Structure 1
Amino acid sequence: MPKKKSLILEAVHETATGLHKAGLMDQTTLREFDSLCLSPIEPLEPEQIKQIRESSHVSQAVFPAILNISPSTVQKWEIGQKRPSGTALKLLHLVKKRGLLFQKCLMVSKK
């Protein structure tokens, strides 16, 4: 279940955006502030990663090719020997939430 954003954080962010629009905060400071407001990315368990891949209907050989990582990395994630982090973790969450783009392209091309 996704976490709800803090109402206080939303209000502070709205204030910072207003300060930027008024010329009282520069773009660099606003970007730094924006990065502080990002929600942390929840770690994924090995079984969740396998479920993401399987629900995408791709093999352990195809999934890493789509994500531009090595097949051994996916294998290690799925057995718990390694954990995805950073960009890879974010990408897995996006695939979980929205699926794989190429699947949608394939479905359109079959029509």
Structure 2
Amino acid sequence: MVLTEKELLERDAKRNIGEELLSAILDVKAGRHGDVHQVELTEAAEARGKTGLSQPKFAQLLGVSVRTLQEWEQGRRAPSGAARSLLHIAALRPDVFRDVLMAQP
């Protein structure tokens, strides 16, 4: 159900955000987690995670901007060509990826 802006404002005016947050914290502490959402990692995010590199360092090794890497990791854009191949190598063999690309002058 999509609410109009007016409906959202009316709904939010009746909410007590502090009380909702406290209730959520108490639920978590009590082991009640409510809705659990699974977030599927993109190949770029998974590959970088396996290498243990920061976004700036990983982007530098791939030869792309940090912004491009972020777009890939968030699924807004997809890598192509050589970048896709490098991501695949990084995911399968993060040790080789780090050793080979970090040894470049």
TM-score, L = length of structure 1: 0.47
Which structure has the larger Rg?
Answer: 2
TM-score, L = length of structure 2: 0.50
Higher relative contact order (CA 8 A, sep 6+): 2
